C-alpha cells in the first residue's frame, strides 16, 4: 500500500518535543497569555498549539494507516472518522504555521479585523469542504477495500494551503529586517524542508513524508526559536534585554505602535550592600511576580540590573499610563527582604513608540543613560520630563556626529590687558552646530559629554585645534602670550592624559608655555592624590593654570594660595551682582585686590559695558574678558580681529569706582 511511511517517526518526534517543553528543568511552567487576542498574538502560545495539533494530526494519520493495512469488519466508520480528524487538524496546522511565522516577525500584530477575516477565509472554505465531505466525497473517500482515495477537490485543498504559505512568505520577505539574521536563516531552512516533504507526498501518494517533514520543521522552530534559555533572565525568569530588543525591533520594523512602561529601581546598590545576594535576588523575583499582575509575563522584560520594561502593544497609551500610576502606588509600600521591610524607590515612565522614540538605537540610549540624572525617591516621569530626556539624547547624537565627522568648532574669545591696552590671550571655546538641531550651547552639550565619556574626545579635539592654531599663526607676533584651554575633572581622572597632551603638542611643535589650562575650583579642590600629583607634573612640564569660575562656590583662600595659579578668573555673576547693591560691589573689589596682592592675575569675565570695565579695572583687575571687547570668534575672524586691533579704541580713562 505505502512504499514508505514516516508517520510513526513523526509522531514520536513531535511527542518528544512536547515532553521536552513541558518537563525541561530550565524553563518554568508556561503560563498562557490572558484572552483570545493575546493568545493568537503570542509566538510561544501559537507554537504550543501548533505542536499539539501536529501530534493529534499525526496520531490520526497513524491510526488510519494502521486500519487500512489491517482491515477488520466494522472499522470503516472509525477509519473515516480518523481521516476526517486528520484533514481537519492538518488544514488547521497549515493556517497556524503561517500565523506562527507572522508572530515571529511581528506582522501578526497590529492587523485590523478586516485582515483576519480575509486571512481565515481560505481556512474556513477548506474546513467546510472537509466537514461536508461525508456527503460530497470531493476531498477523499474510502473504497470497498477500506483504502483511502483522493477526491477531485484534493488539489484545491493543496491550493488553499499554498495561499497561506505564499502569504507567510510575503510577510516574511517584506519584513525580514524585523528579526535577527540567524532567525531568518532558521525559518527559511525549516520551511524549505517542510515544502519538500509536502511536494514529495503530493507527487507520490504512496510515500508518507509530509508529516515527518512538518515534525522536523517544528523541531527546528523549537531549537532555534523557542529555546528561551538565551532570552530569559536567570534570576527573575522573565524575558531579558535581548528579548526586549528583539520584540522592539519587530514592532518598529512592522510599524506597530506600542508603549513601554519603564520601571527603574533606584539605589539598588544600597540594597545589595545591606542584604545577602540571595535575599536581593528574592526581592527582584518578588518585583517581577508583582509586575505579572499588571500584564502578561510575555510582555515583561528585565532590561538591566535595575530596569524592568513592560510592553503594551497597539494604541494602549491610556492602559500603560494607568499601569504606571498603579506601579508607583505599589512602590510607595515596603517590600520584604530577609524578613525585613525594605522601601524600594523606583522611577516609572511611559515611552510611546513611535511618538517619543522612533528608532531602536534611540530607545536603547534613552533606557541606558537617559535617566541618570533623575532625583532620588519614587516618581513618575511625565511628558515634559521625557521631552527633556529626549533632548539630551538628541544632543548626544549631535555631539557624536560632530566628533566622528570632526565638524566641531573651536572659537576664541579675546582677553584684554589693562596694563598694555592690548589683547594678550584668548579662551578656546568649543562650539557645536548641528544640521538637525542648529546651534547647541555649551551648557547643554558639555554635561552630556561628561556623562557619556565623550568629554575625553571633546577635550582632545579642542587641545589639538589650539595646537594647530598656535602652529599655523605667529600669535606671539600679534601679542598673544598663550591660549587658554579648558580641562575637566573627567579628563584628569583618565590615565595617561599628560602623555596624550604632550603627544599632541609635540606633533605641532608648540611650547607648553603657549598653553594655559583652565580648571574649575571643584577640580582644584579634588582630594585624590593622583589628581594633585598630575597637576604638579603638568606645571613641571611648562603648562600654566587658570582657576575658572572663582567665587561661584566655596572659595577657599588657602587652596587658592597653594594652587600656584597664573590667573584667577572671577565669574561674571559676581560682577553683575555688584551692579545691584553696594555690598556685592565691595565683595568684588576686595576679592580682586586680595588676589592681586597674591601676585596672581585677575581675569574678570562677563564685562559687557564701559561702566563694568571701569569698575573692575579700578578695583585692580588686570585682565578682562567679555562682549565689551569681543564675542567668541571663529578662527579666521579671531586672526582678523588681532590684525585690526587698535589700542586707541580705549583712549578714555576708566571712571572712578564709586562703590
Top-confidence residue, 232 or 368: 232
Q: Is the pLDDT of residue 656 over 60?
A: no
Residue 524, C-beta contacts closer than 8 angstroms, at least 6 positions apart: 535, 547, 559, 563
The pLDDT score that the predictor gives to residue 280 is: 85
In the listed set 209, 226, 243, which residue is the last one of a domain according to the structure? 226
| Whether 244 and 215 share a structural domain | no
Going by C-alpha positions, the residue among 362, 234, 363, 376 that lies closest to residue 305 is 234
Pairing of strands 623-625, 601-604: parallel
Cell of 577: 551682582
Position 590 in a domain: yes
Per the structure, how many domains does the chain have?
3
| Whether 421 and 330 share a structural domain | no
Q: Is the pLDDT of residue 639 over 50?
A: yes
Position 389 in a domain: no
Spatial contact of 552 and 571, defined as CB atoms under 8 Å apart: yes
Determine the average pLDDT of the residues in 371-391. Answer: 73
CB atoms within 10 A of CB 113: 6
Q: How far apart are CA 328 and CA 320, in angstroms?
A: 12
The pLDDT score that the predictor gives to residue 651 is: 43
The pLDDT score that the predictor gives to residue 464 is: 96
Position 648 in a domain: no
| Whether 219 and 252 share a structural domain | no
Determine the average pLDDT of the residues in 128-142. Answer: 91
Spatial contact of 467 and 504, defined as CB atoms under 8 Å apart: yes
Going by C-alpha positions, the residue among 83, 16, 11 that lies closest to residue 54 is 11
Band of residue 659 on the pLDDT scale cut at 50, 70, 90? very low
* CB-based burial label for 355 (10 Å; 0-12, 13-18, 19+): exposed
Determine the average pLDDT of the residues in 275-303. Answer: 88
Position 540 in a domain: yes
Q: What is the DSSP letter of 3?
A: S
Determine the average pLDDT of the residues in 235-260. Answer: 89
Position 657 in a domain: no
- Across all residues in the chain, what is the average pLDDT? 86
Q: Is the pLDDT of residue 511 over 50?
A: yes
Cell of 572: 561674571
Band of residue 27 on the pLDDT scale cut at 50, 70, 90? very low
Cell of 621: 583687575
Q: Is the pLDDT of residue 655 over 50?
A: no
Predicted confidence (pLDDT) per residue in 184-209, tens digit = 787 788 778 878 887 887 788 788 88
Q: How far apart are CA 276 and CA 77, in angstroms?
A: 66
| Whether 162 and 279 share a structural domain | no
Residue 306, C-beta contacts closer than 8 angstroms, at least 6 positions apart: 264, 265, 266, 268
| Whether 407 and 533 share a structural domain | yes
| Whether 195 and 270 share a structural domain | no
| Separation of first and last alpha carbons in the chain | 116
Q: Is the pLDDT of residue 466 over 50?
A: yes
Q: How far lies 82's CA from each of 148, 195, 207, 213, in Å?
A: 11, 24, 19, 21
pTM score, whole prediction = 0.67
Determine the average pLDDT of the residues in 130-140. Answer: 92
| Whether 538 and 438 share a structural domain | yes
The pLDDT score that the predictor gives to residue 124 is: 94
Spatial contact of 573 and 552, defined as CB atoms under 8 Å apart: yes
In the listed set 193, 226, 259, which residue is the last one of a domain according to the structure? 226
The pLDDT score that the predictor gives to residue 56 is: 94
The pLDDT score that the predictor gives to residue 633 is: 96
Domain span at residue 481? Answer: 396-642
| Whether 442 and 501 share a structural domain | yes
Q: How far apart are CA 240 and CA 121, in angstroms?
A: 37
Q: How far apart are CA 227 and CA 89, in angstroms?
A: 25
Return the CATH number at 571.
3.20.20.450
Predicted confidence (pLDDT) per residue in 40-89, tens digit = 888 888 999 999 999 999 999 999 888 888 888 778 889 899 999 999 99
| Whether 218 and 250 share a structural domain | no
Return the CATH number at 114.
1.20.1070.10
Q: How far apart are CA 614 and CA 629, in angstroms?
A: 13
Task: Looking at 303-382, list the stretches that DSSP marks H as alpha helix, in order from N- to C-terminal side.
Answer: 317-331, 360-369
Predicted confidence (pLDDT) per residue in 406-430, tens digit = 999 999 999 999 999 999 999 999 9
The pLDDT score that the predictor gives to residue 401 is: 93
Position 387 in a domain: no
Crossing angle (nearest 10°) for helices 76-104 and 210-224? 30
Cell of 627: 562682549
Phi, psi for residue 180 in degrees, rounded to 5: -60, 155
pLDDT cut 70: percent of the chain above it: 93
CA-based R_g, the chain, Å: 37
CA 343 to centroid of chain Cα atoms: 28
Return the CATH number at 326.
3.30.70.270
Position 624 in a domain: yes
| Whether 485 and 560 share a structural domain | yes
Position 282 in a domain: yes
| Whether 121 and 154 share a structural domain | yes
Q: How far lies 506's CA from each of 429, 458, 510, in Å?
A: 22, 19, 6
SS3 126: helix
Q: How far lies 188's CA from each of 127, 252, 476, 531, 583, in Å?
A: 28, 22, 70, 58, 80
In the listed set 226, 260, 276, which residue is the last one of a domain according to the structure? 226
| Whether 65 and 112 share a structural domain | yes
Predicted confidence (pLDDT) per residue in 544-562, tens digit = 999 988 876 555 676 677 7
| 258 membership: H or E segment, kind and range | strand 258-266
Amino acid at each position: 500500500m505505502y512504499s514508505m511511511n514516516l508517520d510513526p517517526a513523526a509522531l514520536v518526534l513531535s511527542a518528544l518535543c512536547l515532553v521536552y517543553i513541558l518537563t525541561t528543568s530550565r524553563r518554568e511552567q508556561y503560563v498562557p497569555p490572558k484572552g483570545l487576542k493575546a493568545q493568537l498574538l503570542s509566538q510561544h502560545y501559537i507554537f504550543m498549539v501548533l505542536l499539539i495539533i501536529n501530534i493529534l494530526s499525526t496520531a490520526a494519520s497513524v491510526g488510519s494507516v494502521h486500519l487500512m493495512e489491517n482491515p477488520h469488519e466494522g472499522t470503516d466508520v472509525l477509519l473515516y472518522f480518523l481521516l476526517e480528524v486528520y484533514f481537519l487538524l492538518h488544514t488547521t496546522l497549515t493556517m497556524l504555521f503561517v500565523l506562527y511565522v507572522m508572530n515571529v516577525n511581528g506582522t501578526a500584530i497590529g492587523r485590523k479585523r478586516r485582515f483576519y477575516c480575509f486571512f481565515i477565509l481560505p481556512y474556513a472554505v477548506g474546513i467546510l469542504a472537509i466537514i461536508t465531505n461525508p456527503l460530497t466525497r470531493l476531498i477523499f473517500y474510502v473504497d470497498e477495500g477500506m483504502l483511502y482515495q483522493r477526491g477531485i477537490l484534493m488539489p484545491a485543498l493543496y491550493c488553499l494551503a499554498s495561499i497561506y504559505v505564499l502569504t507567510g512568505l510575503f510577510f516574511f520577505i517584506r519584513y525580514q529586517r524585523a528579526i535577527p539574521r540567524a532567525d531568518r536563516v532558521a525559518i527559511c531552512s525549516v520551511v524549505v524542508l517542510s515544502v519538500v516533504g509536502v511536494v514529495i507526498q503530493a507527487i507520490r501518494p504512496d510515500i508518507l513524508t509530509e508529516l515527518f517533514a512538518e515534525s522536523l520543521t517544528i523541531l527546528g522552530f523549537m531549537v532555534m526559536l523557542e529555546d528561551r534559555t538565551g532570552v530569559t533572565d536567570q534570576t527573575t525568569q522573565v524575558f531579558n534585554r535581548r528579548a526586549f530588543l528583539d520584540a522592539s525591533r519587530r514592532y518598529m520594523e512592522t510599524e506597530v505602535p506600542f508603549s513601554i512602561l519603564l520601571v527603574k529601581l533606584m539605589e539598588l546598590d544600597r540594597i545589595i550592600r545591606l542584604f545577602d545576594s540571595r535575599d536581593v535576588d528574592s526581592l527582584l523575583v518578588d518585583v517581577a511576580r508583582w509586575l505579572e499582575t499588571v500584564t502578561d509575563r510575555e510582555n515583561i522584560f528585565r532590561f538591566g540590573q535595575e530596569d524592568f520594561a513592560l510592553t503594551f502593544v497597539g494604541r494602549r497609551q491610556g492602559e500603560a499610563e494607568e499601569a504606571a500610576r498603579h506601579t508607583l502606588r505599589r512602590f510607595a509600600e515596603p517590600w520584604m527582604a530577609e524578613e525585613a521591610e525594605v522601601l524600594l524607590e523606583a522611577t516609572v515612565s511611559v515611552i510611546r513608540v513611535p511618538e517619543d522614540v522612533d528608532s531602536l538605537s534611540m530607545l536603547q540610549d534613552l533606557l541606558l543613560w537617559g535617566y541618570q540624572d533623575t532625583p532620588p525617591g519614587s516618581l513618575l516621569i511625565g511628558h515634559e520630563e521625557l521631552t527633556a530626556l529626549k533632548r539630551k539624547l538628541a544632543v548626544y547624537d549631535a555631539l557624536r556626529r560632530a566628533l566622528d565627522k570632526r565638524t566641531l568648532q573651536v572659537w576664541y574669545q579675546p582677553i584684554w590687558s589693562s596694563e598694555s591696552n592690548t589683547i594678550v590671550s584668548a579662551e578656546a571655546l568649543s562650539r557645536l552646530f548641528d544640521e538637525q538641531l542648529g546651534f547647541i550651547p555649551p551648557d547643554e552639550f558639555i554635561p552630556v559629554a561628561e556623562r557619556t565619556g565623550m568629554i575625553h574626545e571633546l577635550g582632545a579635539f579642542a587641545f589639538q585645534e589650539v595646537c594647530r592654531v598656535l602652529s599655523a599663526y605667529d600669535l606671539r607676533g600679534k601679542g598673544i602670550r598663550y591660549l587658554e584651554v579648558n580641562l575637566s575633572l573627567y579628563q584628569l581622572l583618565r590615565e595617561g592624559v599628560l602623555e596624550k597632551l604632550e603627544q599632541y603638542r609635540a606633533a605641532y611643535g608648540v611650547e607648553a608655555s603657549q598653553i594655559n589650562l583652565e580648571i574649575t575650583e571643584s577640580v582644584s579642590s579634588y582630594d585624590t592624590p593622583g589628581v594633585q600629583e598630575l597637576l604638579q607634573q603638568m606645571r613641571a612640564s611648562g603648562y600654566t593654570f587658570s582657576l575658572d569660575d572663582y567665587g561661584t562656590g566655596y572659595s577657599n583662600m588657602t587652596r587658592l594660595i597653594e594652587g600656584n595659579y597664573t590667573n584667577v578668573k572671577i565669574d561674571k555673576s559676581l560682577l553683575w551682582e555688584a551692579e545691584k547693591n553696594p555690598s556685592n560691589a565691595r565683595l568684588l573689589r576686595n576679592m580682586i585686590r586680595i588676589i592681586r596682592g597674591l601676585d596672581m592675575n585677575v581675569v574678570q569675565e562677563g564685562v559687557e559695558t564701559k561702566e563694568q570695565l571701569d569698575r573692575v579695572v579700578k578695583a585692580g583687575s588686570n585682565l578682562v574678558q567679555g562682549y565689551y571687547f569681543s564675542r567668541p570668534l571663529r578662527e579666521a575672524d579671531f586672526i582678523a580681529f588681532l590684525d585690526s586691533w587698535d589700542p586707541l579704541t580705549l583712549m578714555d580713562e576708566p571712571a572712578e569706582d564709586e562703590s
